[in-house]
A and B are shown apart, each in its own frame.
Chain A
């Protein structure tokens, strides 16, 4: 790709030497990309590889530092999303921008440039959703819809603009396997009409399944362009990660009968209108066991984490038991004293305070459990930062946390390194119970495999571990048994060896909201 003259073949969109620099960081460095008409083109790369930056430049929400974009062989400058849409580029974002209190049709109307009546839009949307196999009730309120249905709104909304290129950012990360299958059918239809799709993902098997060509990014640079169907998952992974990722070894320790975490018919009402109520959750985790809790985001994961950690308490102390003690009414500090450790989903502003140093973040989680080492002065509770620093250095060493400076603020670390520190902070205490929510969300592959290995090692050494995760690969990699959380209810845990993707998908509720949709149609 050295010739400067574009225009050979039937390129819909072509990108030459696109570069974006943020301060010192070259988020995109000389990217070349060609999207032909009538193809599904995959953009592969790990978290932080620069996929989002590239796409934002194509959609006009970021301006390139240098490089050129050609649309149908003509050089263009895309300076705003409005302009991108006018050219014929539509985008479905990973994080939806929908008003929960409004209906589907009202949400679509909000994004239209022209003045169209809500009824007109509802009709158009109904037609489109039938054509493309995207069942959707235009009069339903968004708050009542599942994530998969919300994504359909975004897709229908994009299709209404009649784009020639549709960009989808990690669309399956929030879908059940069955919902994902449905999406793939829709994409095939879109391609059959002569439109193109730029499909962003880090899931290799789906890229191999549906994409015609793939472009791979690593650390902001182009590392390969290929036909994914001619590659193996291993060769694609190598292009993405750069080296072989150390695979996680799961020898399986001995599981004893001693139950370390238990909930009995645990129910908790939703605290806000958009939160999920927990319904009769029964969970038993024995010494040496890792229970993976699968489920699509927003089905009560954070609510379950909060009641297990004690950030939210429940009225009946017996509803939650840790190491044989009824802890339902105890706060998080007391549960930590019993030997429990917790890793919440959100790193910034929950597991760590972004503007505080690592050693201060050490105090955050362990001031109570390690009071004899970290605090002095009796009731004055003077923090001994020398002891704290020593402990945080130990964790940095153990978990191979890469950082600049001696004791940097948490926000200066990359997601993977901060997560290694946060997980290490708990492991360092050798907790007998560990509860982790989305342990490797937004973490690079190297850090993810290290974290997963650490969880397995902890269970093998005789602890009970609960891993709440949306990443089914991760669940299968670490868990000894698997349960599924769906709309606040937890299925019975089944041994991981007996579980299949299909079975999990069914437990996740199959294609979400299908039943409620039929009811809604009857109502009209």
Chain B
């Protein structure tokens, strides 16, 4: 016996809209089962995971700090995914954005000027974009599968950063800790409301990127081009659009936003380079992009929800003594349920028995 997916002749628009919410509901139910199995009271656990982080002002700031990179990356990825280019390496582009953006504050660590920060941000975007340009180049020149090449480049970026902060960029006054110099004040992203918490300008960048990308996809010919080429390369060619240029546009665009997220995180939340600058933001952002239905406005909301799982993971560690890997489990649940809901809305499951499968196999021959 095997399981087959059969395309539904028509699918429900209502369920299609509700799908992310159904997925969230199912994630919470699965979470409750998980907590029960671990011997915790599911209500308490869910409360400390999902509600507690929202009850205090400082943790709301933390929420924005975590949400900003997720949204920035996911908004870029949404354009890439819509054009049918599968950039899985945003994590690497995030890291390279952080690295390239840090060149100025590390080599010119005594330079105090209002121009330092904009320069860092621009260099971060360029770093991320160029790094994303590698899989684009490989895809257009050698027809390489971009999923594999972009994913593998993540590990290259991680090791490169590791080597930098242990080697040439290690802080000479840092007692041999694997860290760069701390950035000076003019290289640190300003906080929004310093009185109440640490949320920085990153979330503003995320908001601007969301609105501009939404406008582009909704109203501009460029957005139309992205959708056309994503749905049919042949029709795109008929329209006079170039698939090759689109591959570069999509990768450079998403790479630049991931790079911006990277340098914002390094400059705003960390203040220096260290071996580990991202709790897998680049991968989680893939979930954010799909949970937000590849729509920038939806992604903004989805980014905040996924940021909550990071805080929930920390809270679960502190208040109920579960490992913070629980957060990753939740993220996994969520992606699984989002994809499953979308699939089941468009397809129905059919069980094919062995006998029937055999005769049908003959029929196909």
Give the interface of A toward B (CB within 8 A): 22-23, 60-61, 79-83, 85, 97, 110-111, 113, 309, 311, 331-333, 336, 342, 344, 346, 349-356, 360, 363-365, 367-368, 375, 377, 380-383
Contact = CB atoms under 8 A, between A and B. Distances in A.
A331 B219 CA distance: 25
Interface in B217-266: 219-222, 224, 227-228, 231-232, 234-235, 237-240
B238 A365 contact: yes
A356 B227 contact: yes
10 contacts: A80-B363, A97-B365, A110-B365, A346-B234, A349-B232, A349-B235, A352-B235, A355-B231, A356-B228, A368-B240
A350 B235 contact: yes
B54 to A, nearest CB: 38
A353 B235 CA distance: 6
A72 B10 CA distance: 39
A364 B239 contact: yes
A353 B365 contact: no
Which of B10, B221, B224, B364 has the most chain A CB within a 10 Å cutoff? B221
A383 B365 CA distance: 48
A113 B237 contact: no
Nearest to B355: A80
A23 B8 CA distance: 11
B350 to A, nearest CB: 13
A80 B235 contact: no
Given A80-B362, A81-B362, A111-B365, A375 B238 contact: no
A342 B238 contact: yes
A212 to B, nearest CB: 29
Contact of A23 (B10, B234, B235, B358): B10
B2 interface: no
Nearest to A360: B224
Contacts of B360: 80-82
Given A80-B360, A81-B362, A383 B240 contact: no
B359 A367 contact: no
B232 A331 contact: no
Contacts, number: 91
B141 interface: no
A82 B362 contact: yes
Contact of B240 (A85, A333, A349, A381): A333
B235 A351 contact: yes
Contacts of B222: 381
Contacts of A355: 231
Contact of B362 (A113, A353, A365, A375): A113
For chain B, the bracket of interface size reads: 20 to 34
A343 to B, nearest CB: 10
Tell me what chain B mostly uses at the interface: helix, strand, loop, or mixed.
Answer: helix
A94 to B, nearest CB: 16
Given A80-B356, A81-B363, A331 B234 contact: no
A311 B362 contact: no
B365 A344 contact: no
A360 B227 CA distance: 11
Nearest to A333: B240
A111 B224 CA distance: 45
B219 A382 contact: yes
Which of B220, B356, B363 has the most chain A CB within a 10 Å cutoff? B363
B228 A353 contact: yes
B9 interface: yes
Contacts of B359: 79-83
The 6 A-B residue pairs whose C-beta atoms are closest, nearest first, are: A81-B363, A333-B240, A381-B221, A80-B359, A82-B359, A82-B362
A372 to B, nearest CB: 13
A356 B228 CA distance: 9
A365 B224 CA distance: 12
A342 B232 CA distance: 18
A354 B362 CA distance: 32
B237 A375 contact: no
Given A333-B240, A353-B228, A365-B238, A375 B363 contact: no
B154 to A, nearest CB: 32
Interface string B9-41: 110000000000000000000000000000000
Which of B222, B228, B356 has the most chain A CB within a 10 Å cutoff? B228
A82 B363 contact: yes
Nearest to A332: B240
A311 B363 contact: no
Nearest to B356: A80
Given A82-B362, A353-B232, A364-B239, 8 more contacts: A60-B363, A61-B363, A97-B365, A113-B362, A349-B232, A356-B231, A364-B235, A382-B220
A344 B232 CA distance: 14
Given A82-B359, A381-B222, A351 B238 contact: yes
A351 B237 CA distance: 10
A354 to B, nearest CB: 8
B221 A383 contact: yes
B363 A383 contact: no
Contacts of A344: 238
B221 A311 contact: no
Contact of A383 (B219, B237, B356): B219
A91 to B, nearest CB: 10
Interface in B252-303: none
B363 A367 contact: no
Nearest to B242: A331
Contacts of B240: 331-333, 336, 367-368
A329 to B, nearest CB: 14
B365 A364 contact: no
A100 B147 CA distance: 30
Given A331-B240, A353-B228, A375 B221 contact: yes
Interface in B44-93: none
Given A111-B365, A365-B239, A353 B231 contact: yes
Contacts of B220: 377, 380-383
Given A23-B9, A82-B363, A383-B219, A332 B224 contact: no
Nearest to A376: B219
